[in-house]
Amino acid sequence: MTRHTALLPLCGLLLAIAMPTHAAQTDTLPATNPFAQVSTLPYALPPFDRIKDADYRPAFDAGMAEQLREVAAIASNPAAPTFDNTLVALEKSGQLLNRVSTVFFSLAAANSNLAMDALRAELSPQLATHQDSINLNTALFARIKAVYDARNGSGLDAESLQLVERYHTQFVRAGALLSEAQKTQLKAMNAELSSLGNSFRQNVLNATKDGAVSVSALAELDGLSEPQIAAAADAARQRGLTGQWLITLQNTTTQPALTQLKNRALRERLYKASVNRAPENFAVVAKIVKLRAERAALLGYPNHAAYVVADETAQSTAAVNRALTQLAPAAFNSAKAQAAEMQKLIDAEAKTNKTKPFKLQPWDWQIYAEQLRKARYDFDDAAVKPYFELNRVLVDGVFYAATQLYGITFKERTDLPVYQKDVRVFEIYDRDGSPMALFLSDNYARDNKQGGAWMNNYVDQSKLFNAKPVIANHLNIPKPPEGQPTLLTADETRTLFHEFGHALHGLFSEARYPYLSGTNVPRDFVEYPSQANEMWASDPTVLAHFAKHYQTGEAIPQALLDKLAAAGKFNQGFSTGEALAATLLDQAWHQITAAQAPAAKDVMAFEAAALKKAGVDFAPVAPRYHTPYFSHVFAGGYSAGYYAYTWTAVLAADTEQWFDTHGGLQRANGDFYRAKILSRGGTVDAATLFREFYGAEPDIAPLAEKRGLLLGSGKAKK
């Protein structure tokens, strides 16, 4: 079944439409259109060099028409409903639409342009209507229900039974049991919500680009490294700003440069440019939350969050709220204790310099946290960057860990087309040496690329179609000037490992049906393999293999590694707190009724009240995303689901403990984890998969220990 999901910024994975990718040429689309037939390139890699903007619209039109004909044939089949003639037939439908959708929405996130932006705005409500015409097809649902009702004793294997249950659940949740009048109402809601989500996304993209901070005096950039200053000058030149420097914005509230800029006025200007983005989204948010609440009520749920969570592993908003309230007090009390220490630094600095002291503000946090970390651990994050060069981290770190754990190997392919010159393509070979996948690595930030980091599939693995995966990872690392090395922060290094965890989840999939392949799992499980893969970024064996000076090749000194490890729990009150504040904000927006939804003018007042009520309204620690640019929940697939990052962090910490207990970076451990988790996709209930791997229910204690937080007391562990 086609499942159109919006693009997911920051972590994310871009879940392309979960449909097969192999079909014969259609008679409704010219053969010259690159989507008219399956790509003949290895692994059916899209022919990026042949795709033009003008190819998308006719392919979408033909694809939607073709799938509606296929669905009509299934729904009107005179034969009695069976698994094969109904559900397998649905799995085989919509292949042309899948091909064009996968490429279009992937590139609309990674390499967009004005024509694509305009087409996306047109398509969003049309695709929502198209999906509704399938999900709300009475005759089709009757056949699905007949197969579902007869599933016990049908002789179907476990994966096929799972497919039956998932289809039935999807159609019921999509409104199949509503009256015709209610279905009409629901269709209008879905179309409007789709348009609003696209408007929100575009507003954030424009505001992030327009919000870049220009600097006319070099002295103001004191604290930045020479490569960073050169990159800022290059960014300004690209926008025609002669003799200036440009600090571009990332999608998060806190901007990386705040850690280094010594000029407090510039820090404040940069921070305010970040948090004041996209006020035009106030009206968009007001409409979205009201419509989502109305739709949830129509479908029989008290609010949108209840609707979303009912189909996740958490199952209830009460379970989500319990998990969040376990960590929030500890995180914010830790942050407040650290803030008091930083205030002492500020006061001492003012006394020494005979200047007026000031109260710690959010634009001060990062630079004084770095000073405090340096004082406490004699550690400076800038000291590790020369040892974290992008290519070494990717090839000798990310790929090396995967080879050690799973036996897979990598070979770069320079003979295949890409959509942007910086994109790299690697062929992946399985442990027996057989070719298994293509991996696209797109790491640099661009003005036409959405913020954050994410994974997407261009081809989903499927035994039904003998399809092997084509997977892409996207980051937003600032590109240095030509000839300069790309040196990563510890956080950027961790993000490379994180996104490749998503990639592993997709490429190791052994599902028969596309619907259940790879990352097609509950949202509060999909972030688990990615967060678990972060452990290898700090593993001593892996670090020793990639952490080498970009100029000399000298291994990172053990003393520096020890400092890095010792400082690992530092600032966790802030990092956990900013994420939890955003998470609680997401729940606040979606645990309300339509009557409680605020007007556009009251959006930020609602946010402030929600943070205060949750006990996370500590000014120096702002939410990771404020409402107007919280793309995960208003333009992505994480509405009422941003808690997934915290939920799965528990699973990841448990998994790290499991690996430590069983000997760490060993093939036997990797093979077991691959067999129990990474290869299963959505073929088995996610909670069951974790129990079968871990041998017990999830335990929050390892996560609290890892982050230096004491549950219950709310105090940080020293």
E strands present in 1-154: 13-14
CA distance 327 to 4: 33
**CB neighbour list of residue 244: distance below 8 Å, 6 or more residues apart:** 214, 215, 216, 233, 236
d(CA 543, CA 525): 27
Residues 6 or more apart whose CB falls under 8 angstroms from that of 684 comprise: 158, 162
- Do the strands 409-413 and 424-429 form a parallel or antiparallel pair, or are they unpaired? antiparallel
Residue 290's closest CA among 6, 632, 598? 598
The kind and range of the H/E element at 642 are: none
- C-beta separation of 41 from 470 below 8 A: no
Tokens of 66: 């073709």
What is the C-alpha to C-alpha distance for residues 551 and 491, in angstroms, rounded to an integer?
21
* CA-closest candidate to residue 462, choices 55, 140, 41, 20: 20
Beta strands in 419-537 (DSSP E): 424-429, 435-444, 454-459, 470-477
Q: What residues contact 594, with CB distance under 8 A and at least 6 apart?
A: 290, 293, 294, 297
SS3 708: coil
3-class state of residue 23 by DSSP = coil
Question: Active-site positions?
Answer: 499
CA distance 227 to 385: 12
Q: Rounded to whole angstroms, how far apart are CA atoms 169 and 177?
A: 11
Contacts of 125 (CB under 8 A, 6+ apart): 191, 192, 194, 195
- Cα torsion 411, 413, 414, 415: sign: positive
495 CB-side CA count, 13 A: 24
| CA–CA gap between residue 542 and residue 537 (Å, rounded) | 7
